[in-house]
Protein backbone atom coordinates (compact mmCIF):
# COMPACT_ATOMS: atom_id res chain seq x y z
CA UNK A 1 0.00 0.00 0.00
CA UNK A 2 1.23 3.47 -0.84
CA UNK A 3 1.13 6.67 1.12
CA UNK A 4 -2.14 7.59 2.82
CA UNK A 5 -3.17 11.23 3.10
CA UNK A 6 -6.33 12.60 4.63
CA UNK A 7 -7.94 15.81 3.45
CA UNK A 8 -10.98 17.61 4.81
CA UNK A 9 -13.25 19.45 2.44
CA UNK A 10 -16.01 21.82 3.50
CA UNK A 11 -18.07 22.01 0.32
CA UNK A 12 -18.82 20.28 -2.95
CA UNK A 13 -16.48 22.66 -4.75
CA UNK A 14 -13.76 21.79 -2.23
CA UNK A 15 -14.08 18.10 -3.08
CA UNK A 16 -14.01 18.97 -6.78
CA UNK A 17 -10.88 21.01 -6.23
CA UNK A 18 -9.24 18.04 -4.52
CA UNK A 19 -10.05 15.84 -7.53
CA UNK A 20 -8.57 18.51 -9.77
CA UNK A 21 -5.43 18.66 -7.66
CA UNK A 22 -4.98 14.88 -7.66
CA UNK A 23 -5.44 14.62 -11.42
CA UNK A 24 -1.98 16.15 -11.74
CA UNK A 25 -0.51 13.35 -9.62
CA UNK A 26 -2.43 10.58 -11.32
CA UNK A 27 -1.27 11.62 -14.74
CA UNK A 28 -2.47 10.16 -18.03
CA UNK A 29 -3.29 6.62 -16.87
CA UNK A 30 -4.45 4.87 -13.73
CA UNK A 31 -7.27 3.29 -11.83
CA UNK A 32 -9.04 5.37 -9.18
CA UNK A 33 -11.30 3.38 -6.85
CA UNK A 34 -13.86 5.56 -5.05
CA UNK A 35 -15.56 4.44 -1.85
CA UNK A 36 -18.23 6.26 0.11
CA UNK A 37 -21.94 6.32 0.79
CA UNK A 38 -24.55 7.86 -1.45
CA UNK A 39 -24.04 11.62 -1.37
CA UNK A 40 -20.48 11.40 -0.08
CA UNK A 41 -19.11 13.30 -3.05
CA UNK A 42 -17.67 10.63 -5.34
CA UNK A 43 -19.18 12.18 -8.45
CA UNK A 44 -18.05 15.64 -7.32
CA UNK A 45 -14.50 14.30 -7.02
CA UNK A 46 -14.72 12.81 -10.53
CA UNK A 47 -15.88 16.20 -11.86
CA UNK A 48 -12.68 17.69 -10.48
CA UNK A 49 -10.65 14.88 -12.00
CA UNK A 50 -12.26 15.61 -15.37
CA UNK A 51 -11.38 19.28 -15.11
CA UNK A 52 -7.81 18.43 -14.14
CA UNK A 53 -7.47 16.06 -17.08
CA UNK A 54 -8.72 18.65 -19.54
CA UNK A 55 -12.21 17.27 -20.08
CA UNK A 56 -15.46 19.15 -19.55
CA UNK A 57 -16.61 18.68 -15.92
CA UNK A 58 -20.18 19.48 -16.94
CA UNK A 59 -20.28 16.19 -18.85
CA UNK A 60 -19.81 14.25 -15.62
CA UNK A 61 -22.95 12.75 -14.16
CA UNK A 62 -23.85 9.46 -12.56
CA UNK A 63 -24.75 7.26 -15.48
CA UNK A 64 -28.08 5.53 -15.06
CA UNK A 65 -28.14 3.30 -18.08
CA UNK A 66 -24.51 3.26 -19.10
CA UNK A 67 -21.98 1.40 -17.05
CA UNK A 68 -19.08 3.42 -18.40
CA UNK A 69 -18.93 6.98 -19.68
CA UNK A 70 -15.97 8.45 -21.51
CA UNK A 71 -14.87 12.06 -21.34
CA UNK A 72 -12.25 13.33 -23.73
CA UNK A 73 -10.73 16.68 -24.27
CA UNK A 74 -7.33 16.67 -22.71
CA UNK A 75 -4.17 14.68 -23.16
CA UNK A 76 -5.93 11.53 -22.04
CA UNK A 77 -9.34 9.95 -21.73
CA UNK A 78 -11.25 9.70 -18.47
CA UNK A 79 -13.58 6.74 -18.16
CA UNK A 80 -16.19 6.94 -15.41
CA UNK A 81 -17.82 3.83 -14.04
CA UNK A 82 -20.59 3.65 -11.45
CA UNK A 83 -21.14 0.16 -10.09
CA UNK A 84 -24.09 1.20 -7.90
CA UNK A 85 -26.82 -0.03 -10.21
CA UNK A 86 -25.13 -3.20 -11.31
CA UNK A 87 -27.57 -6.04 -11.56
CA UNK A 88 -26.79 -9.01 -9.34
CA UNK A 89 -24.56 -11.46 -11.11
CA UNK A 90 -23.06 -8.87 -13.43
CA UNK A 91 -19.45 -9.77 -13.87
CA UNK A 92 -17.39 -6.68 -13.11
CA UNK A 93 -14.30 -8.48 -14.38
CA UNK A 94 -15.78 -8.33 -17.86
CA UNK A 95 -15.42 -4.57 -17.82
CA UNK A 96 -11.66 -5.08 -17.99
CA UNK A 97 -11.13 -1.98 -15.86
CA UNK A 98 -7.44 -2.63 -15.35
CA UNK A 99 -6.88 -2.84 -19.08
CA UNK A 100 -8.68 0.46 -19.65
CA UNK A 101 -6.56 1.93 -16.86
CA UNK A 102 -3.43 1.34 -18.92
CA UNK A 103 -4.34 3.80 -21.64
CA UNK A 104 -6.37 6.31 -19.70
CA UNK A 105 -7.71 7.19 -16.29
CA UNK A 106 -10.57 5.06 -14.97
CA UNK A 107 -12.60 6.37 -12.02
CA UNK A 108 -14.87 3.79 -10.37
CA UNK A 109 -17.71 4.77 -8.02
CA UNK A 110 -18.92 2.08 -5.61
CA UNK A 111 -15.61 0.32 -6.00
CA UNK A 112 -16.57 -1.94 -3.08
CA UNK A 113 -18.52 -3.89 -5.70
CA UNK A 114 -15.29 -4.58 -7.52
CA UNK A 115 -14.00 -7.56 -5.56
CA UNK A 116 -10.69 -8.00 -7.21
CA UNK A 117 -7.93 -6.43 -5.16
CA UNK A 118 -6.50 -4.07 -7.70
CA UNK A 119 -2.85 -3.51 -7.11
CA UNK A 120 -1.48 -0.25 -8.37
CA UNK A 121 -4.77 1.59 -7.90
CA UNK A 122 -5.48 4.90 -6.23
CA UNK A 123 -8.01 4.46 -3.45
CA UNK A 124 -10.21 7.38 -2.45
CA UNK A 125 -12.47 6.92 0.58
CA UNK A 126 -14.90 9.71 1.32
CA UNK A 127 -16.51 9.86 4.74
CA UNK A 128 -19.41 12.15 5.56
CA UNK A 129 -18.83 14.42 8.53
CA UNK A 130 -20.91 17.17 10.11
CA UNK A 131 -22.88 19.22 7.62
CA UNK A 132 -20.90 19.70 4.45
CA UNK A 133 -17.66 18.33 5.85
CA UNK A 134 -16.09 15.37 4.13
CA UNK A 135 -12.99 13.42 5.10
CA UNK A 136 -11.23 12.27 1.99
CA UNK A 137 -8.59 9.61 2.48
CA UNK A 138 -6.35 9.15 -0.52
CA UNK A 139 -4.06 6.14 -0.82
CA UNK A 140 -1.58 6.36 -3.64
CA UNK A 141 -0.50 3.24 -5.50
CA UNK A 142 2.26 1.23 -3.89
P1 LIG B 1 -21.88 10.50 -4.63
O2 LIG B 1 -21.42 10.40 -6.05
O3 LIG B 1 -20.84 10.03 -3.64
O4 LIG B 1 -23.19 9.83 -4.39
P5 LIG B 1 -22.32 13.29 -5.27
O6 LIG B 1 -21.00 13.88 -5.62
O7 LIG B 1 -23.23 12.93 -6.38
O8 LIG B 1 -22.09 12.04 -4.28
O9 LIG B 1 -23.12 14.26 -4.32
C10 LIG B 1 -22.59 14.81 -3.16
C11 LIG B 1 -23.69 15.67 -2.53
O12 LIG B 1 -23.26 16.16 -1.29
C13 LIG B 1 -24.04 16.88 -3.39
O14 LIG B 1 -25.41 17.15 -3.26
C15 LIG B 1 -23.20 17.98 -2.76
O16 LIG B 1 -23.74 19.26 -2.93
C17 LIG B 1 -23.22 17.58 -1.30
N18 LIG B 1 -22.03 18.01 -0.55
C19 LIG B 1 -22.04 18.73 0.57
N20 LIG B 1 -20.81 18.92 1.04
C21 LIG B 1 -19.96 18.30 0.18
C22 LIG B 1 -18.55 18.14 0.14
N23 LIG B 1 -17.71 18.62 1.10
N24 LIG B 1 -18.03 17.44 -0.90
C25 LIG B 1 -18.84 16.91 -1.83
N26 LIG B 1 -20.17 17.01 -1.84
C27 LIG B 1 -20.75 17.72 -0.85
MG1 LIG C 1 -22.12 9.35 -7.71
Domain residues of the chain, as ranges? 4-139
CATH topology of domain 4-139: Rossmann fold (3.40.50)
Q: Is 11 in the pocket of ligand 1 (CB under 6 A)?
A: yes
Ligand 1 atom with the smallest distance to the CA of 10 is 23
Calculate the average pLDDT of the chain: 91
Q: Report which bound ligand comes closest to the CA of 82.
A: 2
User: pLDDT tens across 11-46, in order?
Assistant: 999 999 999 999 999 999 999 999 999 999 999 999
19 Cβ below 6 A of ligand 1: no
Report whether residue 120 contacts ligand 1, using a CB cutoff of 6 Å: no
Residue among 13, 41, 60, 133 to mutate when testing ligand 1 (max atoms within 8 A of CB): 41
Tell me: the pLDDT tens digits for 40-78?
999 999 999 999 999 999 999 876 677 889 999 888 999
Q: How far is CA 73 from CA 86, 108, 118, in A?
A: 28, 19, 27
Is ligand 1 within 6 A of the CB of residue 20?
no
What integer pLDDT is reported at residue 115 of this predicted model?
Answer: 66
Q: Could you give the CA distance from residue 57 to residue 49 in angstroms, rounded to a whole number?
A: 8
What DSSP line would sit under 41-55, residue for residue? SHHHHHHHHHHHTTS
DSSP bridge partners of 70: 79
Amino acid sequence: MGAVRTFTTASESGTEALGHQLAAEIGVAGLVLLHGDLGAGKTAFVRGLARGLGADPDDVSSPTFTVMQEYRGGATVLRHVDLYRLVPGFDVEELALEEFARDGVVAVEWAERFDEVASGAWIVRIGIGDGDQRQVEVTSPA
